[in-house]
A and B are shown apart, each in its own frame.
Chain A
Amino acid sequence: MLLIHCPYCDEDRAEVEFVYGGEAHIARPLDPSALDDTQWESYLYLRRNPRGRHHERWRHTYGCGRFFNAVRDTVSDVIETTYKAGEARR
């Protein structure tokens, strides 16, 4: 059982309480109508999908209900750190 540290509850909780939420730190364009199709496609669909350190969003759905960010190694599946939504990339 993988344990994930929820930065809001400040506890290690079981992975089944969490839901994965995709890559983190993807800001919605402030003025979507100013974007061309390529830029819009990039925002909607294109993700980094790195081998190694990956910044991603998780939600503690069956706990405090909050979204937060995690840095997970996509090779070893080790979660390096977790931090609250809105905080700077680590």
Chain B
Amino acid sequence: MIEITPLAVSAADLVVGTAPVSGHDVRLSLAPAAARYSLRARDPATLAGVIGRALPTRIGDMQGGIACLGPDEYYALLPAGERVPDGAGLPVSVVDVSDRALGFVVEGTGAAAAIATGCPLDLDRFAVGRATRTLFETVEIILLREDTTRFRIEVWRSFAPWLWHALVAAIADR
């Protein structure tokens, strides 16, 4: 039997849950703190040299915690406290955005179905190791598939309480 968190009725009620929510083969939890970097560069080789890490080459691929979001845009998701050189003076942009987003982990055999309630991606063709910016309802998210039954959602903090409640509702309604 699932315990259903009532949908928020006022702004004060809208908070990200501190305890995981599970039911109907899905478990929703808050990911531990992480270091996040927004990386931009026209020339990937220059950027790879600055940060000292290999970059994925195809848009939507993930490698060593770094996802390629666009032709010149990468998103690094690293263990908390990890630092990346900023490449001052070089034509690259390395910005620490650790506090910009929160991470949600959605796992279990029903995870894809729960996410599909609000996300237009074809999750059957969204292979393990893929990552992309997309939408959940009207909220911008970065969706990462860490395993067949485990997804990570990165969402800007101001949207996080709403998204948390939307996912709780999606789990409860299954």
One of B5-13, B129-137, B144-152, B153-161 contacting the partner: B129-137
Residue A44 at the chain B interface, CB threshold 8 Å: no
Contact A65 B120 (CB under 8 A): no
Q: Which residue of A lies closest to B137 (CB)?
A: A16
Residue A77 at the chain B interface, CB threshold 8 Å: no
Q: Which residue of B lies closest to A12 (CB)?
A: B122
Contacts of A65 in B (CB 8 A): 69-70, 73, 133
Q: Which residue of B lies closest to A62 (CB)?
A: B135
**Which of A8, A11, A16 is close to B70, meaning CB atoms less than 8 Å apart?**
A8
Contacts of B132 in A (CB 8 A): 9, 63
Contacts of A16 in B (CB 8 A): 120, 135
Taking the nearest CB of chain A, how far is it from the CB of B89, in angstroms? 25
Rounded to whole angstroms, the CA-CA distance of A10 and B61 in the bound complex is 13
**Which of B60, B120, B135, B140 is close to A9, meaning CB atoms less than 8 Å apart?**
B60
**Which of A1, A8, A10, A66 is close to B120, meaning CB atoms less than 8 Å apart?**
A1
Contact A62 B140 (CB under 8 A): yes
Rounded to whole angstroms, the CA-CA distance of A63 and B126 in the bound complex is 14
Residue B121 at the chain A interface, CB threshold 8 Å: yes
Q: Which residue of A lies closest to B120 (CB)?
A: A14
Q: Which residue of B lies closest to A6 (CB)?
A: B59
Residues of chain B in range 41-96 having any CB-CB distance to chain A below 8 Å: 59-60, 69-71, 73
The 13 sampled A-B contact pairs (Cβ below 8 Å) are A8-B71, A9-B60, A9-B132, A14-B121, A16-B120, A63-B70, A63-B132, A63-B133, A64-B69, A64-B73, A65-B73, A65-B133, A66-B71
Q: Which residues of A contact B (CB under 8 A)?
A: 1, 8-11, 13-14, 16-17, 62-66
Closest 10 CB pairs of A and B: A14-B120, A64-B70, A62-B135, A65-B70, A9-B59, A8-B71, A62-B140, A63-B133, A16-B120, A62-B134
